[in-house]
């Protein structure tokens, strides 16, 4: 019978997380190349890890949703989930009635509405 010790399990889990982090880095560099260059490799990985921690806090575990959360940090800002100016995001993420997928779907929907609203306001000023 195969027995996996706690240390082995932790090492394997770190390996899996590192692989996912590497895939997210590739994704971000494809989607947000200028921002990635600006923050550098170290800053990029730090931002990803902070996003992973936030996702864990909100029960967001599916890779697809985690990547969407990370993307939102580039669209809105790092720490958008606790930013008082983006209180609507915190409300959605803390809504116990919503599944993690529903939280992310609504976050994307609200982000699109906010960005469109901002574009309209800027167009009116021009």
- What does the pLDDT read at residue 90? 94
The full set of domain ranges for the chain reads: 19-125
Residue 49: per-residue pLDDT: 93
Residues of the chain with confidence (pLDDT) below 50: 9, 12-13, 15
Q: Do residues 88 and 80 lie in contact, with contact meaning Cβ atoms separated by under 8 Å?
A: no
Q: For position 12, what pLDDT does the model report? A: 46
Q: Evaluate the CA torsion angle 97, 100, 101, 105 in order and state its sign.
A: positive
Q: What is the pLDDT of residue 50?
A: 95
Tokens of 80: 């958008």
- Give the pLDDT score at 82: 94
pLDDT at 17: 65
Q: What is the maximal distance between C-alpha atoms in the chain? A: 72
């Amino acid at each position: 019978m195969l027995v996996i010790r706690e240390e082995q399990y932790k090492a394997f889990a770190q390996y899996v997380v590192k692989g996912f982090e590497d895939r997210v880095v590739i994704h971000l560099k494809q989607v947000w190349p200028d921002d990635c260059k600006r923050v550098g490799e170290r800053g990029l990985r730090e931002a990803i890890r902070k996003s992973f921690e936030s996702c864990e806090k909100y029960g967001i575990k599916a890779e697809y949703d985690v990547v969407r959360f990370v993307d939102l940090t580039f669209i809105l800002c790092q720490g958008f989930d606790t930013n008082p100016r983006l209180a609507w995001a915190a409300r959605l993420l803390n809504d116990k009635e919503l599944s993690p997928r529903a939280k992310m779907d609504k976050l994307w929907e609200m982000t699109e509405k906010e960005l469109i609203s901002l574009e309209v306001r800027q167009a009116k000023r021009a």
